[in-house]
Structure 1
Amino acid sequence: MTEVLAIALFITICLTLIMGYPVAFVLGGVSLLFAVIGMFSGVFDPVFLQALPNRLFGIMNNQTLLAVPLFVFMGVMLEKSRVAEDLLESMSRLFGTLRGGLAISVCVVGALLAASTGVVGATVVTLGLLALPTMLRRGYDPAVATGTLAATGTLGQVIPPSIILVLLGDVLASAYQQAQIRMGVFTPKTVSVGDLFIGSLIPGVLLVLLYIAYLIFVAITQPKKLPALPQEALGPIQWGRLFKALIPPLVLMGSVLGSILAGVATPTEAAAVGAIGALLLAGLKGQLNFARLREVSHSTAEISAMVFLILIGASLFSLVFRGFGGDVMIENVFEQLPGGVIGAFFLVMLVIFLLGFILDFIEIIFVVVPIVGPVLLAMGLDPIWLGVMIALNLQTSFLTPPFGFSLFYLRSVTPASVATRTIYRGVLPFIAIQLMMLVVAYIWPEIITWLPQQIYGN
């Protein structure tokens, strides 16, 4: 009976979310409803709900989660400060005379924005508004142009500072502690957001290089799809403007990531440095005023409140799911799968990939990862490797037709003359690159774990 209620709870929540109801209220409301059903049926012990106040206090007192509003503030402030516009214009003048140069510029700027903002929707929409009209007007193939924009915009999922990695770091830290209890191991060793930031650096850079390599290949083999532009159409290269547009974001990235890599700041402290840096950058560009600050603060409060409210609802769901013995049921299922830990890992990755079509990454991180994370980690998987692989997987699902969120963002700013099927066709090569990156990271996990080991040791 308890296992049936646990499965019914999970399915009901997924179906209710698909229907479009608010995530936080669905997680909390449906969980409470099933808890009441379980108590009347005599299969749910209400003592599990007594842990909720401590959970809520722990969420509000969590120093790691403080990085979320700070990074969101940094990203929104940079988005409103025309950083992307200046970067794209300067890089286009530098590379535009090469075949595919405009698309390569989009990749470089997208990577810089991902490392500066970490907000996928904002990056996709910003690049789409700024670059797509120019690419189409200059004769670029619509499929290649839209595919490049959609794929580049999702780099914020993996390249730090990523909101996904911040949330994953907190959830996996808790999952790792539970895994240690399951294994009967009690050590101070844990996993942090900084670990995931460092572990994702090499895969993120490799993805950017693979995107650029693909664009160069298309430019060589099918030059009509990515034509070179005359220098007269682009205007002269203004080196002063280029350095003025490029250096401030690079300094900001260096201060945020460098402070983490050097061990002089926690991710939360680095997020505060990034927020102050974004304010200074906006001020230097003449984009900082009271109206802008109020707009950015309002967006930051709105996004942060959503995240924390979802986390509260997810905590209630986790308690009720455990009260029905759902965690034990998942562990038994994984142990009986063919292939052991490999079979369990592939099943989880497949489920996360499919759920990425219908649920946002926040729901997946707070609902799915706390259920499967402790079991997978107790089976011996490296927590840093698992976290980065989940982030790469979610990034791939964001791109995959017909439900990829990145495609929806891009469709909202794409001219009606570009068919939706054209966008779908354009992202397919980039999905193949993403899947190849996942395979490579699975075969050679050192791509993810090597840098953290070099910095922190074993």
Structure 2
Amino acid sequence: MSDPQIALLMLGLFIALVFLGFPIAFTLMAMGIGFGYYAYFDAGRMWRAFNRLAEDAGMSDQTSTWIGGLFNNRIFDLFINQTYTVMSNEVLTAVPLFLFMGYVVERANIVSRLFTTLNIAARNMPGSMGVAALITCALFATATGIVGAVVTLMGLLALPAMLKARYDNSFASGIICAGGTLGILIPPSIMLIVYAASSGVSIVRLYAAALLPGLTLVGLYLIYIVGRAMIQPSAAPKPTLEEVPHVPRGKLAVMLLTSFLPLALLIMSVLGSILFGLATPTEAAAIGALGGMLLAAIYRALSFQRMRESVYLTVRTTAMVCWLFVGSYTFSSVFSYLGGEQVIAEFVTSMDLTPLQFLLLAQLIIFLLGWPLEWSEIIIIFVPIFLPLLPMFGIDPLFFGILVALNLQTSFLTPPMAMSAYYLKGIAPPSIQLTQIFKGVLPFLFLVIVCMVLMYQFPQIVFHLPNLFYGS
């Protein structure tokens, strides 16, 4: 077999092992080192190392000299260098800080106050409880960026209230599932940090580019909720005074000041300091982590137990992301050295695709990968395969990254592998069937596709803020 054929075998074997359930990070590292040993094998170097070690040991320990010779391969140098590169990456430093901010906010009992306040404030709107649930999801998802945590917590908090208010089971479930995924798109998004580290695109420009598409998607969701409540009132009945009591304006203003405003100020201070150049993403993430702790203290939720849980979850998730990077960098280096990237580039070029056709093909592949894989694995492992092809079609990697971020919303919403639906089903009342949740997320899935079409037809939605703040 030629080297390019071995590279394709390497990629196919990796995909097969992933579907068999092997841990992805360690599979990447093992395959990178295994195939890399073949790719970088140098018999002369191995024997020189063996002879040198044999002379130093006086042939008294043949086992150690043989082992030393066998391990004298450049793949081990590459693996060590890639590990050091990932662990010293300044962009990735923001990941644990944003994660810590999210976990602290999640445990600070802020969301319950926020949903109650927004529910009362929007009580006269059609679909008021759905609107309140979506806005709460959007704010909480933006602050945490952790889809499972948002869907689970909102499922425990908002879903029973919506069902009690006689909302349609599917409609209520779809709102929570769709709202919970917004954190991977709306800044400060951890997913965009990971994409920036993979692609070399400025994280500051990515945050600016993602803001309007994120708000556009939220707007489409709100239009659907209000529109359906007006067209089909039985799906979202107007709440009674027992379900949502009337509150005087003065008291409502105080409730907004103590629930909505603190979390909104935390998000805007973190995002604003990045977009206006007052702080780097890492510095802003540190401010956010400190702000999350202050919020928890203000709400009297800053206990040792909660802090310990937040630190543990932050370390666990950060380690997963970093080792995925190490494995991916090692795997992709060997894959490229064997000629795999060149084979893919030649194959795509031979198809004579237009830029639109290439975008559709790439997004379709990412859409399908979203069924078995998490967003982190898609961004770190598979998106870099497309990045070298973007210049051939004149596609800006900034624009491509925002489309990918939108597309990854669908990976959480597409049956039969819609992870947000399974998160919700795990804590939903027994009367809520999985098929009902799937039915509820389908309209929101369609709206994500509509938003992607809008991005392509009107690319200034993506480029306007980056060009306004930082120039073209």
Q: Which moved more, 1:29-38 or 1:268-277?
A: 29-38
Residue in structure 1 matching 2:101, options 74, 82, 99: 74
Does the CA contact (< 8 Å) of 2:141 and 2:147 recur in 1? Answer: yes
Aligned to 2:80: 53
Does the CA contact (< 8 Å) of 1:337 and 1:344 recur in 2? Answer: no
Output aligned runs, 1:95-114, within 5 Å. 95-114=122-141
Structure number with larger C-alpha Rg? 2
Alignment pair present for 1:245 and 2:259: yes
Output aligned runs, 1:296-445, within 5 Å. 296-445=310-459
Aligned to 2:242: 232
| TM-score with structure 2 setting the length | 0.89
Residue aligned with 1:400, SS: coil
Aligned to 1:180: none
Does the CA contact (< 8 Å) of 1:73 and 1:297 recur in 2? Answer: yes
Aligned to 1:125: 152
Residue aligned with 1:216, SS: helix
Counterpart amino acid of residue 242 in structure 2:
E
Counterpart amino acid of residue 91 in structure 1:
L
Q: 1:38 to 1:60 in 2, by over 3 A?
A: closer
Aligned to 2:46: none
Aligned to 1:185: none
Q: Which moved more, 1:117-126 or 1:200-209?
A: 117-126
Aligned to 1:172: 199
CA distance, structure 2, for counterparts of residue 440 and residue 149 of structure 1:
24
Aligned to 2:47: none
Aligned to 1:188: none
In the alignment, structure 1 segments of 5+ residues that lack a partner are 174-190
Alignment pair present for 1:148 and 2:175: yes
Aligned to 2:184: 157
CA distance, structure 2, for counterparts of residue 372 and residue 362 of structure 1:
16
Deviations 1:46-87 (A, max 9, x none): 656643333222211111100000000000000000111110
Aligned to 2:304: 290
Q: Which moved more, 1:273-282 or 1:27-36?
A: 27-36
Counterpart amino acid of residue 345 in structure 1:
L
Does the CA contact (< 8 Å) of 2:425 and 2:433 recur in 1? Answer: no
Counterpart amino acid of residue 4 in structure 2:
E
Does the CA contact (< 8 Å) of 2:165 and 2:239 recur in 1? Answer: yes
Deviations 1:181-218 (A, max 9, x none): xxxxxxxxxx2111111100001111111111001111
Residue in structure 2 matching 1:446, options 438, 447, 460: 460
CA RMSD of aligned residues (A): 1.8
Deviations 1:308-357 (A, max 9, x none): 11111111111121122111112112212232433322221111110000
In the alignment, structure 2 segments of 5+ residues that lack a partner are 44-72
Does the CA contact (< 8 Å) of 1:353 and 1:393 recur in 2? Answer: yes
Deviations 1:271-327 (A, max 9, x none): 111101001100100001222111111111111111111111111111121122111
Residue in structure 1 matching 2:227, options 217, 222, 231: 217
Aligned to 2:121: 94
CA distance, structure 1, for counterparts of residue 356 and residue 409 of structure 2:
21
Does the CA contact (< 8 Å) of 1:252 and 1:277 recur in 2? Answer: yes
Aligned to 2:65: none
Aligned to 2:57: none
Deviations 1:79-132 (A, max 9, x none): 000111110111112223433100000111111112211111111111111011
Q: 1:314 to 1:205 in 2, by over 3 A?
A: same
Q: How far off its partner does 1:37 sit?
A: 5.2
Equivalenced residue count is 439
Residue aligned with 1:368, SS: helix
Residue in structure 2 matching 1:195, options 202, 205, 226: 205
Residue aligned with 1:201, SS: helix
Percent sequence identity over aligned pairs: 37
CA distance, structure 2, for counterparts of residue 229 and residue 223 of structure 1:
11
Counterpart amino acid of residue 409 in structure 1:
Y
Q: How far off its partner does 1:39 sit?
A: 6.3
Aligned to 2:110: 83
